[in-house]
Amino acid sequence: MNDTPLAAGMSDQLGRRAADLVAGAQPVGWKMGLTLDAVQRQLGLDGPVVGYLTSATQLANGATHRLAGTEHPAVEAEVAIHLGAAVPPGAGRDAARAAIAGLGPAIEVVDAAPPFEDLYSILAGDVFHRAFVLGPADSSRADVEGIEATIVRGETEEASASAAAATGDPADVVRYAADFLADHGGELQAGECIIAGAITPAVPVSSGDRIAVSLGPLGELTVSFE
C-alpha cells in the first residue's frame, strides 16, 4: 500500500512518467532531488529523493526556454552521470563505478520556493522539475575531483562551488539511485543518465536572462529565458 507520502508520491510520479512515455516522450534518465540535509530533516527523509527526465523537457544547448506558468524559476549546475550498463539494487561500489560510461555537464531548470512542506506533492510533481540541458559525456571521467561549477548570468558570476563537495563519489550516487528506485518500482537502465543534484545554490532567473554553466573540464552549457 502507498500509505506514506513518500510511497504515494513516488507511485504517482512514476505513473506520470509512464504516461509521458506512452504519449511519445523518450526516457533520458533520472535526477537527484532534495539533497540538502536541512530540507530532508524538515520533510522527515533520511536521504535524497529521485525524479525522472524524459525528452519532453530536454532542451538543446543554447536553447531559449519560456518561463510562462512558473512562479519561482531557477537554474542549477549539476554533474550528469551517464550509464553504460544497467545497475541493479544492492550493487557494490565497484559495479556501480564500472557502469559509469562518463560524466558531463548539466543544467536543470526548476520551479520551487520554500517552505518545503508537502512531500507527496513535491514527489508527484517530479521534484520541482521544469527543464534540463545535457552536454556530451567525457568517457575518461568517473569522478568529480578538481571540478568547479560556476553559474554566470550575462557577464556576472552568480555562484561557484566544488563539485566534489556537493556531489561526492558518482558511484555512490548511482548506487543510491538504484536502491531508491527499486524500492518504488523503478530501475536504472543502460543508456540513461542521472543528474546528481545542485552543486551551488539555485540561481533565480527571469525573462531576458542568459545563463552559462561551466563545469571546468566537463564543458560549458548555456540557456536563455523569455
Structure-derived torsion over alpha carbons of residues 53, 57, 58, 63, reported in degrees to the nearest 10 = -150
- Half-sphere exposure of residue 153: CA atoms within 13 angstroms, side-chain side: 14
Grid coordinates given for 4 = 506514506
Q: In what order do the strands lie in the sheet with 148-153?
A: 64-65, 220-225, 210-214, 148-153, 156-162
Per-residue pLDDT at 113:
72
Query: Rounded to whole angstroms, what are the CA distances from 52 to 29, 67, 132, 137, 215?
Result: 6, 20, 11, 19, 22
- Half-sphere exposure of residue 43: CA atoms within 13 angstroms, side-chain side: 28
Per-residue pLDDT at 5:
96
* Minimum mean pLDDT range among 11-15, 63-67, 114-118, 142-146: 114-118
- Residue type for 41, please? R
Query: Rounded to whole angstroms, what are the CA distances from 107 to 74, 130, 131, 180, 195?
Result: 10, 11, 8, 23, 9
Grid coordinates given for 73 = 524559476
CATH classification number, 5-225, choose in 3.40.50.300, 2.30.110.10, 3.80.30.20, 3.90.850.10? 3.90.850.10
Per-residue pLDDT at 115:
75
- Average pLDDT of the segment spanning 59-67: 99
Residue count (the chain)? 226
Domain boundaries, the chain: 5-225
- Alpha-carbon distance 180 to 167, whole Å? 17
